[in-house]
Amino acid sequence: MKTPQFWYPTYVTPNAAHNDHLPWWGYGLVPLAHIYHLGAKIHQKLHTPGPAPLPTLCVGNIVAGGAGKTPVALALMKLILQSGMAQNPAFLTRGFGRHPTDGQTILKLSSALLSVPDFDPYIYGDEACLLARSAAVYITAQRGKGAAQAREDGCDFLILDDGLQNYELNYMAAFCVVDGAMGLGNGRLIPAGPLRQRLEDALSRINAFVMVGEDQTGLTPFLTQYRPVLQAQRRVTMENFNPAAYVGFCGLGMPQKFHQTLKSLHVDLLDFFPYPDHYAYTDQDIDFLMEFAMARQARLVTTEKDWVKLSGKNFAGTKLAELCDVVKLEIDFDAQTQGDILKILQDCGAAQFQTNGSAL
């Protein structure tokens, strides 16, 4: 799915009337948004969360598309390991974009599997492949069973990826990730807007917001009325950058964000091809991209999330290696924010874990 542009107007005042942020034909989507809201409330009522079998931090968001959950989850995992809060932490995720899925199987992905000769990234999903570089990843639609398996395997802490709208587990704490450039969009529910859940419905499960990058929509004062806002800095790097012309491509919920990132890196961009989020590239896609770039004496450039799907062994995508460069997005927390994060986790139930103070 590609994110509709009207979901994110150029500027949205947090408490502005919704009427100003829909095209005329968008009002036909408002009744569908009410139906979506009703369905979400029924879904929540039908589920009674059970206790998580080990300390669990949920990293989620309330908008559809890329708010930056995966890089935030990776940064939090790094902090938890450095602080000594856990010795054998792991990720728990549904594994969006993977196939085939049966809803029952629990997959476990480790960094060692990423380099085996017949590794197929599409079995696990792109985000799981990124997470596995830092810690083991349990992949299942049944989060309760996945958490139980992690505990059985000796894990002592879980980061639950994208779990705010999942009601299987009562996790220890939850951080809601907000993209500083996009905010909460027009403030409407899907399909009239990007919200997967109304803020007031999510607040009871949120301990803090994580603002990724500079707050360009003025949302911080609004959010701080309800919960602390933790600031996260984006660090963007491009491997093997050279002055050649480039053709960009990505499969993201908000491909325009990657397009803007390339501009900020001063990449000489000849053309740009957006694909749907979690897109499964075909041999035909790869051949087209390569031929398009080579005909213009250009190189290709994509995201790290897309590259993990294209660099698997025995895939046609591996021939891209000599022609494609990769942009990496990492999240940094300053010392004050690191301390705030660890304090929130300790106050929420992780006080039994000793921290060595090196990350503070």
In the chain, where the domains are located = 50-235+331-350, 238-329
The per-residue pLDDT for range 324-355, each reduced to its tens digit, is 899 999 999 999 999 999 999 999 876 444 44
Give the residue among 232, 185, 244, 211 at the shortest CA–CA distance from 64: 185
Q: Taking the model in full, what pTM does it have?
A: 0.89
For domain 238-329, the CATH class is: alpha beta
Q: Going by DSSP bridges, is the β-strand pair 136-139/173-179 parallel, antiparallel, or unpaired? A: unpaired
Q: How does residue 82 score in pLDDT terms, banded at 50, 70 and 90?
A: very high
Q: How does residue 17 score in pLDDT terms, banded at 50, 70 and 90?
A: very low
Q: Which two tokens stand for residue 190?
A: 């899907």
The per-residue pLDDT for range 266-299, each reduced to its tens digit, is 999 999 999 988 888 888 898 899 999 999 999 9
Q: How does residue 11 score in pLDDT terms, banded at 50, 70 and 90?
A: very low
Q: Is the peptide bond before 191 cis (omega within 30 degrees of 0)?
A: yes
The fold of the 50-235+331-350 domain, in CATH, is Rossmann fold (3.40.50)
Residue range 47-57: average pLDDT? 91
What percent of the chain lies above the pLDDT cut of 90?
57
Rg of the chain, C-alpha, whole Å = 20
